[in-house]
Amino acid sequence: MKIIKPNKLQKGDTIGILAVSGKIKEYEKIQNAASYFEMCGFKVVISDTCKTSHRYMAGNSDDDCVKELHSFFANEDIKAILCARGGFGTIRLLDKIDWNIIAKNPKIFAGYSDITILLAAIYKKTGLITFHSPMANGDFGSDLENYTIQSFYDTLQGISKEFIAPNPVFYNTGKAKGILWGGNLSSLCSLCGLDFIPDSDIILFAEDLNEPVYKIDRMLTQLFNIKEFAKNVKGIALGDFLNIENSEILNEIIMEFALKFNIPVVKGFKITHDKLKDTVPVGIEAEFDAESAKIKLLDSYVI
């Protein structure tokens, strides 16, 4: 696959805030995010789907969301697309997306949670590097942590070279190389049955929240039951699994996978639904050192 690198984010660029997942319940948070970016020297465009909804999803319909997605990529003035929020809805869009529009108009595309589905699908279908990052509604529209802000700009401007787990939990040590790829675990699992697994070695990163331990076990098992997935994953860098009922059992489950597949696994990276989070490029070659709990990026990911 030919990798496409987007242009780095620069002051004066236009950032498009795009809602294609859950409906926006508090539009003032989107306005807060827009005001923040304008204060920082950026221009902002907000999608119409931030103001409309159907059931629990953004936009008047799935077609509305796809239309806005296409429009934001095709708009030459928009240099970066920041998703408004997660929730649910992006899996419904995949069979309607014209991937050629994205491939011909590469730019920063960023988000997390349910947006993981689009991060993975865009990379698989086009080769465009995407970004697992904070979003407009829950992050930039609320109280922001300085760490999160710094990581966001450092990564989107091409400065970030490595990610370190500050309080690591080691399950299996060693080193591995592969593309850095992953996101929200339950969202990744919703792609099962589709063509979504990269054709290369993978350093998987994953996080989730409000999932019972048995469901995390089931989701990891579901993914590793895919032969191509199990063959390609060379290491696992885990973020937070928030609001779980039994961390001891979760540790047992993770250890079982680490030893069964004999791959390095470390938990404790700032990949999370929590406030302190790293912005991570998806699809770039990286080295995972499970002895120092460090991910080192081996190539540039923006131009």
Q: How far is CA 156 from CA 4, 7, 41, 105, in A?
A: 15, 9, 15, 17
Would you state the pLDDT for residue 1?
A: 83
Q: Is 273 a catalytic residue?
A: yes
From first to last of its 303 residues, the chain has per-residue pLDDT tens of 899 999 999 999 999 999 999 999 999 999 999 999 999 999 999 999 999 999 999 999 999 999 999 999 999 999 999 999 999 999 999 999 999 999 999 999 999 999 999 999 999 999 999 999 999 999 999 989 999 999 999 999 999 999 999 999 999 999 999 999 999 999 999 999 999 999 999 999 999 999 999 999 999 999 999 999 999 999 999 999 999 999 999 999 999 999 999 999 999 999 999 999 999 999 999 999 999 999 999 999 999
180 forms beta bridges with 203
Residue 248, number of CB atoms within 10 A of its CB: 7
Catalytic residue chosen out of the listed positions 68, 151, 207, 211: 207
Q: What is the pLDDT of residue 88?
A: 98
Q: Which of 53, 113, 151, 187 is catalytic?
A: 113
Q: Residue 34's pLDDT is what?
A: 98
pLDDT of residue 143: 85
Antiparallel, parallel or unpaired: β 130-132 and 280-282: antiparallel
Look up tokens 């700032």; give the residue.
270
For the stretch 134-164, pLDDT in tens is 999 999 999 899 999 999 999 999 999 999 9
Q: Which tens digit of pLDDT belongs to each residue from 187-204?
A: 999 999 999 999 999 999
Angle between helices 213-224 and 247-260 (to 10 degrees): 10
Residue 56, Cα to own-chain centre: how many angstroms?
21
Q: Residues 6 or more apart from 150 whose CB is under 8 A from it? A: none
How many Cβ atoms sit within 10 Å of the Cβ of residue 53? 18
8 A C-beta contact, residue 217 and residue 253: yes
pTM, two decimals, is 0.98
54 is an active site residue: no
Bridge partners of residue 237, in order along the sequence: 205, 266
Q: Of all helices (H) and strands (E), which one includes residue 121?
A: helix 116-126
> Is the Cα dihedral 112, 270, 37, 297 positive or negative?
negative
Q: Is 252 a catalytic residue?
A: no
| Rounded Cα gap, residues 284 and 131, in angstroms | 10
